[in-house]
């Protein structure tokens, strides 16, 4: 008959493997996700595209302003020069020159707004570039660290698997099967230690008869509350 101590030791190996498996999955998930870098690079790409669009508008607006300035200068030259010979043309020319100046002011204001927008986007791009570079550097360092963790976990797992295999070979096939089935049903804990008359898995007090049978160690005793194998270590 397999001793309860063997099953308890086997469970400790299995719990250690569960821990390693959980840690390995967590590390692999971290390696598969570099969301911060992706988000920064996406934001940078969007701002770079926005900058190009705004600069195109700025160039078009500059051309419009240049055209209006030239037109306004021509009107002023006519207005204050000697080109106007008909007095009736003067009010019309004055009105046109005034409209041209007003329109020029509006377009210059728009040009200034575009120039400020370009500056703001350029500043934001510079900030994002630095943040993305820093995040990428941090990510590369983290990748190295996580890779080392995976190697350590794999080495630790290899050693535990070898120890478990030796231990499992000393357990009868039927008892090993019963243990593994119970372990699945009980969330990874098939064997529960008994301390101060309590099952340490469910924290329920054990009947005196159960305690005596556990102390004798001559048979497998199950907790009357949670159904786990009891071990007095």
Domain boundary among 145, 169, 193: 169
Is 155 found in the same domain as 186? no
Query: How many CB atoms lie under 10 A from the CB of residue 209?
Result: 10
Q: What pLDDT is stored for residue 1 in this prediction?
A: 47
Give domain status of residue 45, yes or no. yes
Rounded-to-integer distance, Cα 229 and Cα 4, Å: 8
Give domain status of residue 221, yes or no. yes
Q: What is the average pLDDT across 40-69? A: 94
Is 201 found in the same domain as 159? no
Is 101 found in the same domain as 45? yes
Is 202 found in the same domain as 131? no
Query: pLDDT tens digits for 108-166?
Result: 999 999 999 999 999 999 999 999 999 888 888 988 999 999 999 999 999 999 999 99
Query: How many CB atoms lie under 10 A from the CB of residue 221?
Result: 23
Strand partners, 194: 199
Domain with 49, as residue range(s), is 34-169
Give domain status of residue 29, yes or no. no
Tokens (6 digits) for 208 = 């005196």
């Amino acid at each position: 008959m397999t001793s309860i101590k063997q099953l308890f030791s086997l469970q400790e190996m299995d719990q250690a493997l569960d821990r390693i498996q959980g840690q390995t999955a967590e590390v692999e998930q971290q390696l598969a996700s570099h969301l911060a870098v992706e988000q920064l690079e996406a934001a940078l790409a969007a701002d770079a595209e926005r900058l190009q669009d705004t600069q195109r508008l700025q160039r078009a607006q500059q051309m419009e302003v240049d055209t209006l300035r030239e037109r306004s200068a021509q009107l002023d030259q006519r207005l204050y020069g000697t080109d106007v010979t008909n007095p009736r043309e003067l009010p019309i020319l004055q009105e046109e020159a005034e409209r041209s100046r007003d329109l020029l002011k509006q377009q210059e204001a728009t040009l200034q707004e575009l120039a400020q927008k370009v500056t703001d986007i350029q500043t934001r791009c510079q900030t994002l570039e630095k943040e993305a570079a820093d995040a990428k550097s941090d990510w590369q360092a983290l990748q190295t660290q996580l890779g080392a963790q995976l190697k350590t976990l794999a080495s630790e797992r290899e050693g535990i698997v070898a120890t478990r295999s030796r231990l499992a070979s000393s357990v009868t096939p039927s008892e090993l099967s019963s243990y593994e089935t119970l372990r699945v049903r009980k969330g990874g804990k098939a064997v529960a230690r008994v301390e101060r008359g309590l099952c340490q898995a469910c924290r329920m007090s054990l009947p005196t008869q159960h305690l005596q049978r556990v102390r004798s160690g001559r048979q497998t005793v199950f907790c009357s509350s949670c159904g786990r194998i009891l071990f007095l270590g």
